[in-house]
Amino acid sequence: MAAYQSILAYDGTEFAGFQRQARRRTVQGVLEQALRRLGWTERALVAAGRTDRGAHARGQVIAFRLAWRRSPAELTAALNAHLPGDVSVRETRPADEGFHPRYSAVRRCYSYSLTAAPTRDPLAERFAWRIWPALDDAAIRAACPVLLGEHDFRAFGPAPRKDGGTRRTVFRSEWQTEGGGRTYRIEADAFLYRMVRRIVSALVSVGRGDVGPEVLMSLLEDPARRWQGSLAPAHGLCLDAVIYEESGDSTGGHPLAGRADGTQE
């Protein structure tokens, strides 16, 4: 029996999140069903993170053990043959002994998509939060660098574990615009529970003129204050990549050898 790791993409719209739940359709649930059809016997697969209900991924990573005598490419094809249309295995490769998609990760990369339009666009809004009136992009860009570096991000979410710390290091925080679309990209060593969705909510409030960029700094300096705004909707969020060594490419979603502790969004 060999160890494998796979990179996944999925449309989270029709899923009740990643983690398996009784009587609810989840990404983990359909993946484990597909694996069992190939003779998989473990109790549960392990993943880099547990995305929220409605959130998407193009770089989720899972690991499992399987008695498989053919190539990893054929394993990818076999899994995809048993998966529904809203989940796809992009790549499978052998995993080193001791590899864990969550605890071996050194960085995670998320994007959050928004669209600026006065009327609904059903095609765009499956994967983006529609905002109107349009935001002040310059104000948001000025606020993004405030989040860079190591800070206590407790104002933007609790630790995934009850006894976990809330200090995180953000390596990338960028606001990009193209036509009516806006994308926020953030890369960090790990994330607190729903941290990205709270940060996006705060940045949108800056773009609307409801608060100034200095509010983000004050929340980092005094995390006991907590962000009081609503969560950005889950359907704009996408897990783009999980990185397993410091030299890894944060845009490709390909796991590389390495070790570090990580948490989830």
Say whether both 21 and 122 belong to one domain: no
Say whether both 134 and 227 belong to one domain: yes
Say whether both 203 and 84 belong to one domain: no
Q: Identify whether 58 is part of a domain.
A: yes
Residue 264: name the closest of 152, 146, 161, 172 by CA: 161
Q: Identify whether 119 is part of a domain.
A: yes
CB 110 within 8 A of CB 196: yes
Confidence band (pLDDT; 50, 70, 90) for 198?
A: very high
Say whether both 141 and 48 belong to one domain: no
Mean pLDDT of 103-122: 96
| Domain limits for position 138 | 107-243
Say whether both 239 and 117 belong to one domain: yes
Q: What is the DSSP letter of 209?
A: T
Residue 203: CATH number of its domain? 3.30.70.660
What pLDDT, on a 0 to 100 scale, did the predictor assign at position 201? 98
Say whether both 111 and 238 belong to one domain: yes
Q: What is the DSSP letter of 225?
A: G
Catalytic residues: 52
Angle of the 72-82 helix axis to the 27-36 helix axis, nearest 10: 120
Q: Which of 94, 124, 151 is the last residue of a domain?
A: 94
Residue 73: name the closest of 133, 6, 11, 21 by CA: 6
Say whether both 36 and 142 belong to one domain: no
Q: Identify whether 141 is part of a domain.
A: yes
Say whether both 80 and 119 belong to one domain: no
Q: Identify whether 126 is part of a domain.
A: yes
Q: Identify whether 254 is part of a domain.
A: no
What pLDDT, on a 0 to 100 scale, did the predictor assign at position 161? 84
Number of separate domains in the chain: 2
Q: Identify whether 263 is part of a domain.
A: no
Mean pLDDT of 170-195: 96
Say whether both 31 and 123 belong to one domain: no
Spatial CB neighbours of 219, under 8 Å, sequence gap ≥ 6: 155, 156, 202, 225, 226, 227
pLDDT at 99 over 90: yes
Mean pLDDT of 151-163: 93
Say whether both 213 and 144 belong to one domain: yes
Mean pLDDT of 171-198: 96
What pLDDT, on a 0 to 100 scale, did the predictor assign at position 83? 98
Let me know the angle formed at the C-alpha of 255 by 198 and 65, rounded to the nearest 5 degrees: 110
> 0.85 cut: is pTM over it?
yes
Spatial CB neighbours of 251, under 8 Å, sequence gap ≥ 6: 109, 240, 241
